[in-house]
Amino acid sequence: MACIYSPFSISSPSISARSRTKSKQFAIRCVVGEVVADPKVANLAEPLLLHAVRGGKVDRPPVWLMRQAGRYMKSYQMICEKYPSFRERSENVDLVVEISLQPWKVFKPDGVILFSDILTPLPGMNIPFDIVKGKGPVIYSPLRTSGDVDQVREFVPEEFVPYVGEALSILRDEVKGEAAVLGFVGAPFTLASYVVEGGSSKNFTKIKQLAFSQPEVLHALLQKFASSMAKYIKYQANNGAQAVQIFDSWATELSPVDFEEFSLPYLKQIVDSVRKTHPDLPLILYASGSGGLLERLAMTGVDVVSLDWTVDMAEGRKRLGHDVAVQGNVDPGVLFGSKEFITKRIHDTVAKAGNSKHILNLGHGIKVGTPEENVAHFFEVAQGIRYQT
């Protein structure tokens, strides 16, 4: 598929939610050389992102960005000054809603993701933690023995994170069907990595020591996380989430054979459990650095595999097959480039992804220090794309 766009010029847009002016939209004509999927009858009441994931015919790819609500936005920085604790910002309904809607009000993405953290369920599982500025997550009592794992409770979202359900419900009301409301959870192996390592890690020696010397202990912990995250996804869906992304950030630290033992079965278990009660809920799976595991990610049964930027989009499509939707995968560093360069990379990604089952996104979250006007440009270009079949 080839995408053709005309020469352009653009001035830096204002990012004020009320006064932002729309720059000229760039028509992009995408010529399709092969059929990607049979288009379905459009459901006009369904947000663009959901329709695209289901293989419906769309005129452009839906777009949202991981970490689109966050530290690069001046409005978020102002909230941080008033509420310096990340947990307070992510566990207070009013703040969660306000922060989640900040990028929606300015950029109008096709997905509005809940402002939260994958570790939010931990206290409800009897695993105390905090997020320390400049250090990241800290698990006060790392889990490394069978006795430690025995103390872990199964997560009951209604009891321990009612603010998540309330925030999702409010977001649905605020967005009014103009975008899909997205929830998210951490994958079992990634959550286990945090609680065994005691926080973030570079080498993952403690989780691997547990995996390779006491696998039965790790499997017991992974099972508790799998059951709990399946419940958490269903809870989010019941309260307004229209799609849920599963982050398995650290699974790519595993070799393929170890991924098949310590990650894949638990991801499949989550997907299978959710399918029984919420068969139409799109599930997205993201694992950074997943080029060596792409085919195995698709084996989980998720609807969408989110590619990081180290995988060529066309090659990723070929390896995954066209039955699986893809998300991504512009390098977040591109947003530090010129507007012309950003535009070129967007068009390249869209051309390689094809005109069906693609959600335009970055290959990772927006980086701190990203110019806000470049994020605005990314959305404006993306929203100006038009497929031609």
pLDDT tens-digit profile of 180-209?
A: 999 999 999 999 999 999 998 989 999 999
Q: What is the token pair recorded at 111?
A: 């997905």
Alpha helices, H only, 61-92: 74-82, 86-91
pTM, 2 dp: 0.88
Contact present, 5 and 26 (Cβ < 8 Å)? yes
**Local structure of 149: helix, strand or coil:** helix
- Residues in the chain predicted with pLDDT less than 50, given as ranges, are 1-43
CA distance 362 to 306: 9
DSSP per-residue letters across 217-232: HHHHHHHHHHHHHHHH
Q: Provide the pLDDT for residue 10.
A: 30
The pLDDT assigned to 223 comes to: 98
**pLDDT attached to residue 39:** 34
pLDDT at position 317 is: 96
Closest CA to 266 of 277, 278, 254: 254
pLDDT at site 1: 41
Do the beta carbons of residue 60 and residue 380 sit within 8 Å? no
DSSP, collapsed to helix, strand or coil, labels residue 185 as strand
Those residues with Cβ within 8 angstroms of residue 374's Cβ, 6 or more apart along the chain or in another chain: 335, 336, 337, 339, 342
Q: Is the peptide bond before 239 cis (omega within 30 degrees of 0)?
A: no
Q: What is the pLDDT of residue 25?
A: 35
* Residue 144 pLDDT: 95
